[in-house]
A and B are shown apart, each in its own frame.
Chain A
Amino acid sequence: AQSVTQPDIHITVSEGASLELRCNYSYGATPYLFWYVQSPGQGLQLLLKYFSGDTLVQGIKGFEAEFKRSQSSFNLRKPSVHWSDAAEYFCAVGATKSSGDKLTFGTGTRLAVRP
């Protein structure tokens, strides 16, 4: 069975600083990987997804993520954080193309942005 680990429960960065959120997955074959963001009182919004091809994926709101098979990682990055990026971020994996939307989520990383 697939699993996702987000090692950082809580991260605080200063506005304008760069950001990297870590995600490690466990799955035997090529996974389908996702990053979602959840703001208070909101549902989950998809930031980006990886199915195949280029291992550097661009998403919305200036986010990108890099799939590294050798490290079983899919870390999320942003070069300059804005105060509005404060939210909870979830990494998720889908097992196969046919069930790519039956997702297994990590426990999330809560991002705080310091003015």
Chain B
Amino acid sequence: ETGVTQSPTHLIKTRGQQVTLRCSSQSGHNTVSWYQQALGQGPQFIFQYYREEENGRGNFPPRFSGLQFPNYSSELNVNALELDDSALYLCASRGRLSTDTQYFGPGTRLTVL
């Protein structure tokens, strides 16, 4: 067990809709990263949040946004869903140091129809 939980486990949306995915990190983990893993691919870095501020973003458009809360929970929001957004979305949290081990949650499987 990594202590990182994600909800929901699975989600089906239609193109153009908006979705919110949730992550709960271990207590004390003030850095959370989100990754998108398309079928048959490795995870791709979306963005990272540190102390409730965005701290780096990968090659994803602004319709991907996030929030981080003081209680070690966080959200990934995706607006105007596209078919290519269908993927497993992983969150990962770590402690204070960038060299601390990241712990990944089990992911949310998003299907866009």
**How many whole Å from A46's CB to the nearest CB in chain B?**
6
Q: Of A44, A45, A92, which is in contact with the most chain B CB atoms at under 10 Å from its CB?
A: A44
A101 touches B48 (CB 8 A): yes
Taken residue by residue from 69 to 92, chain A's Cβ proximity to chain B (1 for < 8 Å, 0 otherwise) reads as: 000000000000000000000101
B44 touches A105 (CB 8 A): yes
Q: How many B residues have CB within 8 A of the partner chain? A: 26
- Of B41, B45, B101, B104, the residue contacting A104 (CB under 8 A) is B45
Q: How many A residues have CB within 8 A of the partner chain? A: 25
Q: Of A41, A42, A43, A99, which is in contact with the most chain B CB atoms at under 10 Å from its CB?
A: A43
- Of B31, B40, B106, the residue contacting A42 (CB under 8 A) is B106
Q: Compute how far the CA of A102 lies from the CA of B106 in the bound complex, rounded to whole angstroms.
A: 18
- Of B35, B42, B56, the residue contacting A106 (CB under 8 A) is B42
B104 touches A43 (CB 8 A): yes
Q: A43-B2, A107-B40, A107-B42 are in contact. Are A102 and B101 (CB under 8 A)?
A: no
- Of A41, A100, A108, the residue contacting B98 (CB under 8 A) is A100
- Of A46, A90, A99, the residue contacting B101 (CB under 8 A) is A46
Q: Which residues 36-72 of A have a CB within 8 angstroms of B? A: 36, 41-46, 49, 51
B104 touches A45 (CB 8 A): yes
A44 touches B43 (CB 8 A): yes
Contact partners of B90 in chain A: CB under 8 A: 43-44
* 15 contacts across the A-B interface (CB closer than 8 A): A4-B42, A43-B2, A43-B105, A44-B92, A45-B104, A46-B102, A92-B42, A97-B99, A99-B56, A101-B99, A101-B100, A102-B45, A105-B35, A106-B42, A108-B42
Listed in ascending order, the chain A residues whose CB lies under 8 Å from chain B are 4, 32, 36, 41-46, 49, 51, 90, 92, 97-108
